[in-house]
């Protein structure tokens, strides 16, 4: 029966399949889950399902409607997210009210080629307050034949008035074993590679698949971890320079800077875990062995447990502060001041 492309979210697929059958689908859903866990895949499944021509199994994946949606050329399925500012050529921080107004207008029109107009708001936490309020009207009094799908990894950032009017669909990370198994069975990866990507993914299948097909994902991680080691080994000047770099990165793309800090957090968690002798819980498996000179093992011997724990919690607190719009340069300078000095270990 699996014509849904969504994997590992059986609880949702079953419930939605039932609603579809009974023609009792809600007109607005909030899809919640960590980045790259599969929210867009589920949204596209729903878009296909409500437009599919097959009477038995929707989405069938084979009919003209399903295929046009999958090809990204269906006129009634629209994805709305942050756009590039024409003047600065940077990605805007927010989804604007103009974008929502355009959506509202399109929502009043009859579907052009399908049965239902589907609007997917990717990164709904980026709706600014005006945009969220404007959208509220459409969610409260939806035109017929409209399905609104709000995707977010941070639901608390969406005004309660808006999110309480959507039906919530919570997507869960897959087990690390399930991701690894999928990578072996479906992508033909080696056991070792699949284990590594499974752990790095944190159960987010979309991330694991992206890292499988796009080598730059892992190359970028290697570059960032190299930089991390330089910063840990470096003096205050190197560390402040890094804070400046990362703050600038934050200005260009919050998401990228957030990912870098996520790597840092994962790394320090690994150091702690190693130090406590739980090697089997390490995420950055490839930094245990000769490939990267056992960098993880070496560094874990350079700090006291308490130093590592303190810095890891400082990292988490910094990430939290940045989410609450603290000044990135100051927050990152403070973080660098909290970075402990590595002890020289005789080898």
CB closer to Zn ion out of 77 and 139: 77
Q: How far is the CB of 77 from Zn ion (least distance, A)?
A: 13
Least distance from C-beta 209 to Zn ion, angstroms? 23
Q: Which C-beta is closer to Zn ion: that of 55 or that of 141?
A: 55
Cα–Cα distance for residue pair 97/105, rounded to 1 Å: 12
The nearer residue to Zn ion, 60 or 326, going by C-beta atoms, is 60
What dihedral angle (degrees, nearest 10) is formed by the CA atoms of 46, 51, 52, 56? 80
**Minimum distance from residue 150 beta carbon to Zn ion (Å):** 24
- Chain positions 140 to 199 lying near Zn ion, rule: CB under 5 A, are none
Shortest spacing between CB 49 and Zn ion, in angstroms: 8
Q: To the nearest 5 percent, what fractions of the chain are helix, strand and coil?
A: 60, 10, 35
Cβ distance to Zn ion smaller for residue 63 or 316: 63
The reply to whether 20 sits near Zn ion by the rule CB under 5 A is no
From the CB of 70, what's the least distance to Zn ion, in Å?
9
Residue (63 or 288) nearer to Zn ion, CB: 63
Q: Cα dihedral angle (308, 310, 313, 314), rounded to 10 degrees?
A: -110
> Smallest distance from the beta carbon of 169 to Zn ion, in angstroms?
21
Closest distance to Zn ion from the beta carbon of 171 (Å): 23
Binding residue for Zn ion, selected from 44, 47, 50, 66, defined by CB under 5 A: 66
Q: Which residues pair with 158 in a beta bridge?
A: none
With contact defined as beta carbons under 8 Å apart, do 146 and 34 qualify? Answer: no
* Site for Zn ion, residues 36 to 65, rule: CB under 5 A: 52, 54, 60, 63
The verdict on 282 binding Zn ion (CB under 5 A) reads no
Task: Tell me whether residue 60 or residue 265 sits nearer to Zn ion (CB atom).
Answer: 60
Contacts of 334 (CB under 8 A, 6+ apart): 318
Residue number, 117 or 199, with CB nearest to Zn ion: 117
CA–CA distance, 220 with 198 (Å, rounded to integer): 17
Q: Which long-range contacts (CB under 8 A, 24 or more apart) does 94-102 make?
A: 94/126, 94/127, 94/128, 94/131, 95/121, 95/123, 95/124, 95/126, 95/127, 95/128, 95/131, 96/128, 96/131, 97/128, 97/130, 97/131, 97/134, 99/131, 100/127, 100/131, 100/134, 100/135, 101/134
Residue 112 CB, shortest distance to Zn ion, in Å, is 17
298 and 290 in contact (C-beta within 8 Å)?
A: no
CB nearer to Zn ion: pick between 74 and 199:
74
Please, is 301 exposed, middle or buried when counting C-beta atoms within 10 Å of its C-beta (0-12, 13-18, 19+)? middle
Number of residues that bind Zn ion (CB under 5 A): 5
- Where do contacts with Zn ion occur on this chain (CB under 5 A)? 52, 54, 60, 63, 66
């Amino acid at each position: 029966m699996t014509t849904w492309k969504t994997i590992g979210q059986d609880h949702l697929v079953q419930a939605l399949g039932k609603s579809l059958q009974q023609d009792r689908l809600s007109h607005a859903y909030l899809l919640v889950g960590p980045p790259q866990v599969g929210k867009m895949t589920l949204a596209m499944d729903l878009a296909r399902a409500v437009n599919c021509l097959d009477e038995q199994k929707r989405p069938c994946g084979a009919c003209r409607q399903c295929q046009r949606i999958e090809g990204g050329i269906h006129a009634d399925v629209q994805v709305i997210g942050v756009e590039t500012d024409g003047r600065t050529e940077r990605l805007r921080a927010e989804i604007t009210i103009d974008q929502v107004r355009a959506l509202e207008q399109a929502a009043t029109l009859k579907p052009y080629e399908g049965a239902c107009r589907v609007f997917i708001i990717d990164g709904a936490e980026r709706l600014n307050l005006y945009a969220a309020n404007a959208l509220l009207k459409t969610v409260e009094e939806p035109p017929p034949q409209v399905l609104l799908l709000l995707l977010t990894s941070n639901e608390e950032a969406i005004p309660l008035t808006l999110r309480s009017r959507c039906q919530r669909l919570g997507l869960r990370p897959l087990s690390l074993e399930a991701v690894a198994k999928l990578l072996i069975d479906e992508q033909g990866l080696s056991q070792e590679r699949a284990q590594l990507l499974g752990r790095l993914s944190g159960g987010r299948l979309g991330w694991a698949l992206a890292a499988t097909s796009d080598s730059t994902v892992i190359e970028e991680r290697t570059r960032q971890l190299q930089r991390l080691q330089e910063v840990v080994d470096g003096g205050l000047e190197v560390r402040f320079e890094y804070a400046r770099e990362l703050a600038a990165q934050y200005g260009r793309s919050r998401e990228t800077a957030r990912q870098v800090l996520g790597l840092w957090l994962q790394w320090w968690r690994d150091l702690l875990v190693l130090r406590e002798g739980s090697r089997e819980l390490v995420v950055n498996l490839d930094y245990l062995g000769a490939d990267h000179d056992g960098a993880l093992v070496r560094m874990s011997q350079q700090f006291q447990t308490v130093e590592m724990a303190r810095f890891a919690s400082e990292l988490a607190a910094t990430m939290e502060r940045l989410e609450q719009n603290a000044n990135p340069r100051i927050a990152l300078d403070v973080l660098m001041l909290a970075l402990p000095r590595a002890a020289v270990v005789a080898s």
